[in-house]
Amino acid sequence: MSKVLLIFAHPNLESSRVNAALLKKLPVSENFVFYDIYRKNKNYKFDVASEQELLIKHEQVVFQFPFHWYSATPLLRLWFDEVLTHGFAYGSEGKALHGKKFSCVITTGGPAEAYQRSGYNYYTIEELLMPLRQTANLIGMIWQEPFLVQGALSIAQEELDKKSFEYRDYIQKKLG
């Protein structure tokens, strides 16, 4: 069984600075699979059986996306709707994902200071991620500490380089 599946969901990688920089640090390993859902599903249609098969084959799933309206990007939202079906991911027979680890790598345009009571986003990232965290709970997956790159719109190159190395370590640790 391969260990880590990274489901990457950026709608416009060509114009990405931060996610593009992170991807350059991804490991090459037989235990690591990178899956770009926007590139592979241009018509917004999923082969649900093969998506589910892919999940079954991995112990850990990492979802990587830029924060869009305080949530995942649209195709990833659709992926949750279509792939995490009753009888597969939830319900009395839906135990296929139980015990697998659920991680998020998220870039936010807003800086960390904005995500607090005194900031313009008021809510913390932990609060805003509750729907995803509860999704993980419902489907029996184990929520992991997310990896965040905040202030992505104006991050200095030096800081981005530092974050990219931290990201490499974050993914590498999952591979063991």
**Rounded-to-integer distance, Cα 145 and Cα 103, Å:** 7
DSSP class of 106 = E
* Contact range with ligand FMN by CB under 6 A, out of 16-24, 33-41, 78-86, 168-176: 16-24
Q: Is 72 in the site for ligand FMN (CB under 6 A)?
A: no
CB of 28 to ligand FMN, least distance (A): 21
27 binds ligand FMN (CB under 6 A): no
Whole-angstrom distance, CA of residue 43 vs CA of residue 12: 15
Q: How far apart are CA 48 and CA 39, in angstroms?
A: 16
Nearest Cα to Cα of residue 147 among 101, 100, 106: 106
Residue 53 token pair: 């098969």
* Residue range at the interface with ligand FMN (CB under 6 A); choices 40-48, 50-58, 60-68, 161-169: 60-68
Minimum separation from the CB atom of position 73 to ligand FMN (A): 8
Question: Residues interacting with ligand FMN, by CB under 6 A?
Answer: 10, 16-19, 66-70, 107-110, 152-153
